[in-house]
A and B are shown apart, each in its own frame.
Chain A
Amino acid sequence: IAGITQAPTSQILAAGRRMTLRCTQDMRHNAMYWYRQDLGLGLRLIHYSNTAGTTGKGEVPDGYSVSRANTDDFPLTLASAVPSQTSVYFCASSQDRAQDTEAFFGQGTRLTVV
């Protein structure tokens, strides 16, 4: 079934540890995104990628890094996790180079940093 797959679904992580959240899509979408969802703050854009090989910073990029080596994968890395990074993380993608296309979302990764 076509779509976006995120892994893991949930994770408890010790502060200071490194963690990579995985995101894979099989729709051949060019644009991909990482958001975090926090109560009362909605979805905030962390990083995005317009196409393979390019990335850009969103609203809250500090403490996170991304790479886009190919079209399908867009991993998000927390180099040294802190408790404020406890959140639900959503990966999304949108089709081709058209800015009027909607984004499709994964099911989310619930991350708790202790």
Chain B
Amino acid sequence: AQSVAQPEDQVNVAEGNPLTVKCTYSVSGNPYLFWYVQYPNRGLQFLLKYITGDNLVKGSYGFEAEFNKSQTSFHLKKPSALVSDSALYFCAVRDARVDSSYKLIFGSGTRLLVRP
């Protein structure tokens, strides 16, 4: 069965500092991994995904994520945080096996708070 863990309920960082939001996953086959962001009273917006190839994936708004197969992790990073990055972030996984379903499983979310 697929599962995602986001061990931190909240991450606090000062504006201009680097940020990391952690995600680990479990899936039977190879993973397809995704990060989404949710602003207050809004739906989820796609940030980036890992499919195959380069372990470092670049996405929207200057975010990037690093896939580490041995640690089954897909941490979200940004070199310099902005106050406007404050939001709820979700990691998600889908099993890449051809015969698996399209089920997309999410973590519990991490609230990012960037202080001025």
Contact = CB atoms under 8 A, between A and B. Distances in A.
Contacts, number: 67
A58 B103 contact: yes
Interface residues of A, number: 27
B67 interface: no
B28 to A, nearest CB: 13
B46 A102 contact: yes
Nearest to A32: B102
A42 B9 CA distance: 10
Contacts of A108: 42-43
A94 B92 CA distance: 14
A112 B100 CA distance: 34
The 6 closest A-B pairs by CB, nearest first: A42-B108, A105-B43, A43-B106, A31-B102, A100-B51, A102-B46
Interface of B: 6, 9, 32, 34, 36, 42-46, 49, 51, 90, 92, 94-96, 100-109
26 contacts: A31-B102, A33-B104, A35-B106, A40-B108, A42-B107, A44-B106, A45-B105, A48-B102, A48-B104, A50-B102, A92-B44, A92-B104, A99-B32, A100-B32, A100-B49, A100-B51, A102-B34, A102-B46, A102-B49, A103-B46, A103-B104, A105-B43, A105-B44, A105-B45, A107-B43, A108-B42
